[in-house]
């Protein structure tokens, strides 16, 4: 086992969705990573950060620096993990939707409660890639400055998506597989989740490859929340193979093992869609749990569309991996959209 620190609550619950299963004619389950803790607003980044923080501390770091949008769940969860471990935290937040400093919402409010040092990175006239480059350059400069003051900073990429972080999701898949067996005497046939950087997808596919016997692998469908270049699947396959190497496995992942779907994010990242808003209502009013507008509602919408169109054989065991993000329901109005 690759080593980690312990901050979250694992295993997270695995729940059978009795009402939606009956309605659609499938066995639907949800892996509740919205319950990773250690507070109500946990999510999928906690799994990655337990491995990243271990690595940071091992290297002697006393400060975590990371990147994301102003309403980034990953940035907020990095602040949580840093605080629990007695580390300082610095966030570089790209302004896609302008926050109101007089009325902090969602994750910005939480970042400030956790006492993170925040730098806003303007996106005006910049592509996402260019803004990322600028933020990284500034962060490296700050790291150098901190070094002169006797501090050691550890840089975590957007979404915690690298070999160390994604390893958390390979072991996450092992956790799911054991739960399906002990709780329901079943194996997962299909797994759906919402995908951003691809770090979660990389970890899950690595875990599927590492922990499946006789080629009996569930198929992973990753529903994207933002556009990506054509090279995305190849890049994530490479990351997944890196995770397998890190775990001591000699198995590999190729681009054809990954199934990214770009049909459900609408106009873009942090832009609500009427379909996702309807899914939030549907799930709330049939199963009594919540999805967020930026990530999980778009992913769940994709999954329901696959079921409705018969793209998945009836009565299959279909797992939706709930990656969290609930603070997104309390973000700026233009991110939340029209929910009722
Ligand atoms: C970050 C995030 C994702 C996507 O995870 P990646 O590893 O970046 O693909 C999905 N859901 C929520 C709620 C997230 O915060």
Burial letters 75-104, b for 16+ CB under 10 A, else e = bbbbbbbbbbbebbbbbbbbebbebeeeee
Distance of CA 295 from the midpoint of ligand 1 (Å): 7
Active site residue 72: yes
Q: Is 197 in the pocket of ligand 1 (CB under 6 A)?
A: yes
Q: Is 106 in the pocket of ligand 1 (CB under 6 A)?
A: no
What pLDDT, on a 0 to 100 scale, did the predictor assign at position 184?
Answer: 98
| Mean pLDDT of all residues in 5-22 | 98
What pLDDT, on a 0 to 100 scale, did the predictor assign at position 43?
Answer: 97
| Neighbour count for residue 252 (Cβ, 10 Å) | 14
What pLDDT, on a 0 to 100 scale, did the predictor assign at position 128?
Answer: 85
Question: Given 72, 194, 195, 222, which residue is catalytic?
Answer: 72
* Atom of ligand 1 minimally distant from the CA of 166: 7
What pLDDT, on a 0 to 100 scale, did the predictor assign at position 333?
Answer: 96
What pLDDT, on a 0 to 100 scale, did the predictor assign at position 214?
Answer: 83
Q: pLDDT averaged over the chain? A: 97
Span 94-121, pLDDT tens digits = 999 999 999 999 999 999 999 999 999 9
**What number of residues does the chain have?**
340
| Mean pLDDT of all residues in 125-133 | 90
Q: Is 194 in the pocket of ligand 1 (CB under 6 A)?
A: yes
Q: Is 199 in the pocket of ligand 1 (CB under 6 A)?
A: yes
Span 288-300, pLDDT tens digits = 999 999 999 999 9
What DSSP element (H or E) covers 20? helix 18-24
**3-state class (DSSP) for residue 231:** coil
Q: What is the DSSP letter of 316?
A: -
Span 200-210, pLDDT tens digits = 999 999 999 99
Confidence class for position 215, pLDDT limits 50, 70, 90: confident
Contact between residue 46 and residue 75 where contact means Cβ atoms under 8 Å apart: no
Is the pLDDT reported for residue 213 higher than 90? Answer: no
Distances (CA, A) of 266 to 70, 74, 96, 294: 20, 22, 16, 11
> SS3 breakdown of the chain: % helix, strand, coil, rounded to 5?
45, 15, 35
Question: What is the model's pTM?
Answer: 0.98
Phi, psi of 90 (to 5 degrees): -125, 130
Probe ligand 1: pick from 42, 81, 159, 191, max atoms within 8 Å of CB?
159
Contact between residue 81 and residue 50 where contact means Cβ atoms under 8 Å apart: yes
Q: Crossing angle of helices 163-184/199-211, nearest 10°?
A: 50
Q: Is 302 in the pocket of ligand 1 (CB under 6 A)?
A: no
What DSSP element (H or E) covers 31? strand 27-32
Distance of CA 73 from the midpoint of ligand 1 (Å): 8
Tell me how far apart the alpha carbons of residues 49 and 6 are, in angstroms, rounded to a whole number.
10
Span 25-57, pLDDT tens digits = 999 999 999 999 999 999 999 999 999 999 999
**3-state class (DSSP) for residue 165:** helix
What DSSP element (H or E) covers 236? helix 232-246
Span 316-335, pLDDT tens digits = 999 999 999 999 999 999 99
Contact between residue 191 and residue 162 where contact means Cβ atoms under 8 Å apart: no
């Amino acid at each position: 086992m690759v080593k980690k620190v312990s901050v979250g609550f694992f295993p997270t619950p695995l729940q059978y969705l009795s009402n939606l299963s009956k309605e659609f004619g499938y066995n639907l389950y949800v892996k509740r990573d919205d319950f990773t803790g250690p507070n109500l607003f946990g999510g999928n980044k906690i799994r990655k950060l337990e491995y990243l923080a271990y690595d940071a501390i091992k290297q002697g770091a006393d400060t975590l620096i990371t990147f994301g949008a102003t309403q980034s769940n990953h940035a907020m969860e990095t602040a949580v993990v840093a605080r629990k471990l007695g580390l300082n935290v610095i966030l570089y937040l790209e302004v896609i939707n302008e926050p109101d400093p007089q009325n902090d919402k969602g994750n910005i409010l939480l970042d400030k409660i956790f006492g993170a040092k925040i730098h806003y990175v303007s996106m005006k006239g910049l592509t996402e890639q260019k803004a990322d480059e600028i933020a990284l350059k500034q962060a490296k400069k700050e790291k150098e400055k901190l070094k002169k003051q006797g501090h050691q900073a550890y840089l975590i990429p957007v979404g915690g998506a690298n070999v160390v972080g994604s390893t958390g999701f390979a072991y996450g898949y092992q956790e799911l597989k054991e739960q399906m067996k002990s709780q329901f005497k079943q194996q997962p046939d299909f797994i759906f989740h919402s995908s951003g950087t691809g770090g979660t997808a990389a970890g899950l596919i690595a875990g599927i490859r590492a922990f499946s016997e006789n080629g009996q692998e569930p198929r992973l469908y990753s529903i994207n929340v933002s556009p990506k270049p054509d090279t995305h699947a190849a890049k994530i396959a490479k990351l997944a193979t890196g995770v397998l190497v890190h775990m001591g496995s000699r198995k590999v992942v190729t681009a054809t093992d990954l199934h990214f779907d770009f049909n459900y994010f609408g106009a873009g990242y942090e832009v609500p869609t009427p379909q996702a808003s309807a899914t939030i209502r549907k799930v709330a009013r049939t199963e009594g749990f919540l999805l967020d507008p930026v990530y999980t509602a778009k992913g769940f919408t994709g999954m329901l569309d696959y079921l409705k169109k018969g793209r998945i054989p009836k009565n299959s065991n279909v797992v939706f991996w709930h990656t969290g993000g609930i603070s997104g329901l309390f973000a700026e109005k233009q991110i939340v959209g029209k929910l009722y």
